[in-house]
Structure 1
Amino acid sequence: MSIREVEISDESIRLGQFLKLAGLAEDGVHARALIEDGEVTVNGREETRRGKQLVHGDVIAVLGEKARLVSRAL
């Protein structure tokens, strides 16, 4: 399975925001539902906090799609 890279300009981003930015969720409501339903993992572990801070190198998976966070701020 390929992992696409999603670049941000800051050092970190909240999980809910990242899901929208990466196209893994349609909007904030969809992001919350995915997280609450246990469909989201961060670095292979289920994550239930929409406000979880993600940093460079984190790999987020949703329903078989994976995206890696890349920070330009580093």
Structure 2
Amino acid sequence: MSNILFELRGEFIPLDSLLKATGLAESGGRARVVISEGQVEVDGKTELRKTAKIREGQVVSYQGTQVRVLAGT
């Protein structure tokens, strides 16, 4: 499983935007589809809310990749 470290620029990032920003989804539309299909996990649980607020310390998993969300500087 590969890992990506993602640094927040604010308090949170919507889940669909995170997938697009990290390159795990080629577009926001594709990100929303894979989320609605139940392919994305947040902290080990399936997340179906496309705009779920992802905050510092959370881990998002999709297709064998984990994104660890870090606080911005």
Is the shorter-chain TM-score for this pair beyond 0.5, marking a shared fold?
yes
Shift of 1:51: 1.1
Q: State whether residues 35 and 48 of structure 1, in contact with CA within 8 Å, keep that contact through their aligned partners in structure 2.
A: yes
Could you tell me how far apart the structure 2 residues matched to 1:37 and 1:2 are? 22
Normalized against structure 2, the TM-score is what?
0.91
Structure 1 residue runs of 4 or more that deviate by more than 4 Å after TM superposition? none
Residues 1-74 of structure 1: matches in 2 within 5 Å?
A: 1-72=1-72
C-alpha distance in 2, partners of 1:68/1:49?
19
Structure-1-length-normalised TM-score: 0.90
SS of the aligned residue for 2:54 comes to strand
**How well do the aligned residues superpose, as a CA RMSD in angstroms?**
1.2
Matched pairs, number: 73
Taking the aligned partners of 1:4 and 1:18, their CA distance within structure 2 comes to 11
The letter of the residue matching 1:24 is L
Range 44-53 or range 63-72, more displaced: 63-72
Question: Which structure 2 segments of 5+ residues have no match?
Answer: none
> Aligned partner of 2:35: which letter?
I
